[in-house]
Amino acid sequence: MRRFEVVSETPLDSEQIGPITPLLHRQTQRSHMAKATPEASEQFGEWPLKRLITEVVGSGPKSADDMTREQAREAIQRIFAGEPDHTTLGSFWLANRWKRNTPEELGAYVDEMCERVEVAAPEADPVDCGANYDGKGSTAILGAAAGIVAAGAGTPVVVHSGDRVPTQKQDSYKHVLDELGIGTELSPAESAAMVDETGFGFYYQPAFNPAVQELWERRDMMGVRTFVNTIETLANPADADVHLGSFYHLAFAKKVVDTFEASEYHDLDRVIMFQGMEGYDDIRPGYTKVAEWESADGGDGADASFTDYEIETPEYGMDFEEEDLEVDDVAVDSAAITEGVVTGERDDQFADAVALNAAFRIYARGDAADLSDGLTQARTAIADGDAAAVLDDLRSF
């Protein structure tokens, strides 16, 4: 939160009016310098954002060129250092949105971001759930309940988000957990300890990814999503081997997988993605596509496999429509649904949806042979009280 200090409440007299313009200019300079890091004074290279816009990415969606990895890395270095003019930064973000980023560009962005992420790996090896940080506005957030149920079944799960992230600034994981009385504004080390003690952990973006957090105001002024909305979900603050995410179209799942392969930082074993509701990692009811990527050689992609297939969620207990999962207040209602499901007090469409989403997390980590096995484990964790015990542990953490 930005804080402002009141210097004086005395009206300016005519003798004070003259210096206002240079004073404001100096204050603006100081404000701009305060946002920069030592990187800003270093020589980045030959590709400032304005030149990239003019010569590479800015000619429009049909004629723009793609950046090299080196150009993309220099661009994001400058952005994180606070070096570009605000207008130039906005133009660059919009040009990237128009032309659509390549996995090589996104991989470069991810690598530079991850060099600034404070990673805290728990002893457990959790599933990393990367939902859109700007949240949901109509359907319940099921991932908190699904993660808690999966943890009750023995599959550790990590989720992460910020607080009212642009552009939607809607309810996310943090707000559901806040409503449940679970601590969210944790240091990365505390988040890792939460995973080890309870089986479920929340990582708070301002704590583990301050470089992206510093861009909040600029992102808010854009009015549309940028590539930052994509890369922040790939931060993997717990250094997990498995990533679970969602997509609207299968092509995006392939792009995420290719981004992980292009990344020199990440070394994942497995990625599971499915068509989610509102861009979140809550599987949508009905006919749904699923994408799986596995690396046979530690993550460099040489022997990796990418497959996609369809499932019918009614075959796994989700025999209803997306509208049946809509709520009035996403954070408050999702918290109430979470508590009701994990304690076994609810046996409705939300309980069925949570069970299948938990099954995906169990299956993603390799703790179940298939989704049906994962679904059985999820329902058992609820029936035996193991999921409720995780919720109790989280509240007392």
In a domain, 336, yes or no: yes
SS3 243: strand
| pLDDT of res. 304 | 85
70, 158: one domain: no
197, 307: one domain: yes
Read off the pLDDT band of 302 (50, 70, 90). Answer: low
Report percent pLDDT > 70 for the chain: 88
| pLDDT of res. 279 | 86
SS (H, E, C) 120-178: CCCCCCCEEECCCCCCECCECCCHHHHHHHHHHCCCCEEEEECCCCCCCCCECHHHHHH
Cis geometry, peptide bond prior to residue 88 (ω within 30 degrees of 0): no
Assess whether pLDDT exceeds 60 at residue 151: yes
Read off the pLDDT band of 301 (50, 70, 90). Answer: low
Task: Give pTM, 2 decimals.
Answer: 0.88
What average pLDDT does the segment 177-190 reach? 98
Read off the pLDDT band of 15 (50, 70, 90). Answer: very low
**Buried b vs exposed e over 237-272: b needs ≥16 C-beta within 10 Å?**
bbbbbbbbbbbeeeebbbbbbbbbbbbebbebbbbb
Assess whether pLDDT exceeds 80 at residue 121: yes
Encoded amino acid at 121, one letter: A
Read off the pLDDT band of 26 (50, 70, 90). Answer: very low
In a domain, 1, yes or no: no
In a domain, 53, yes or no: yes
Rama region for 172: left / alpha / beta (φ>0; ψ in -120 to 50; rest): beta
In a domain, 115, yes or no: no
Q: What is the pLDDT of residues 154-174, one digit of tens each?
A: 999 999 999 999 999 999 999
| pLDDT of res. 14 | 38
**Other residues' Cβ atoms within 10 Å of the Cβ of residue 277:** 21
165, 268: one domain: yes
253, 340: one domain: yes
Beta strands in the chain (DSSP E): 127-129, 157-161, 200-204, 242-247, 270-275, 287-294, 305-312
In a domain, 12, yes or no: no
| pLDDT of res. 346 | 98
User: Which of 57, 83, 100 is the last residue before a domain boundary?
Assistant: 100
Closest by CA position to 52, among listed 82, 34, 28, 79: 79
CA–CA distance from 25 to each of 10, 12, 259, 268 (Å)? 21, 18, 42, 48
In a domain, 14, yes or no: no
Q: What is the pLDDT of residues 328-374, one digit of tens each?
A: 999 999 999 999 999 999 999 999 999 999 999 999 999 999 999 99
Pairing of strands 157-161, 287-294: unpaired
- Among 28-37, 112-121, 179-188, 381-390, name the one with the lowest average pLDDT: 28-37
Read off the pLDDT band of 42 (50, 70, 90). Answer: low
201, 93: one domain: no
What average pLDDT does the segment 316-326 reach? 97
- CATH code (residue 245): 3.40.1030.10
SS3 61: coil
Assess whether pLDDT exceeds 70 at residue 2: no
| Edge-to-edge strand ranges of the sheet holding 200-204 | 200-204, 157-161, 127-129, 242-247, 270-275, 287-294, 305-312
Question: Please, what is the average pLDDT of the chain?
Answer: 90
What average pLDDT does the segment 264-281 reach? 96
Number of domains in the chain: 2
**What is the C-alpha separation between 110 and 235, in angstroms, rounded?**
7
80, 217: one domain: no
In a domain, 254, yes or no: yes
- Name residue 161's beta-bridge partners: 204
Assess whether pLDDT exceeds 60 at residue 4: no
49, 188: one domain: no
Backbone angles phi, psi at 271, to 5 degrees: -130, 130
66, 175: one domain: no
Read off the pLDDT band of 146 (50, 70, 90). Answer: very high
| pLDDT of res. 37 | 43
CA–CA distance from 37 to each of 109, 356, 388 (Å)? 18, 45, 45
Read off the pLDDT band of 296 (50, 70, 90). Answer: confident
**What is the C-alpha separation between 254 and 58, in angstroms, rounded?**
25
| pLDDT of res. 297 | 65
Assess whether pLDDT exceeds 80 at residue 123: yes
Range of the domain at 309: 127-396
28, 149: one domain: no
Q: What is the pLDDT of residues 77-119, one digit of tens each?
A: 999 999 999 999 999 999 999 999 999 999 999 999 999 999 9
What average pLDDT does the segment 235-249 reach? 97
151, 62: one domain: no
94, 211: one domain: no
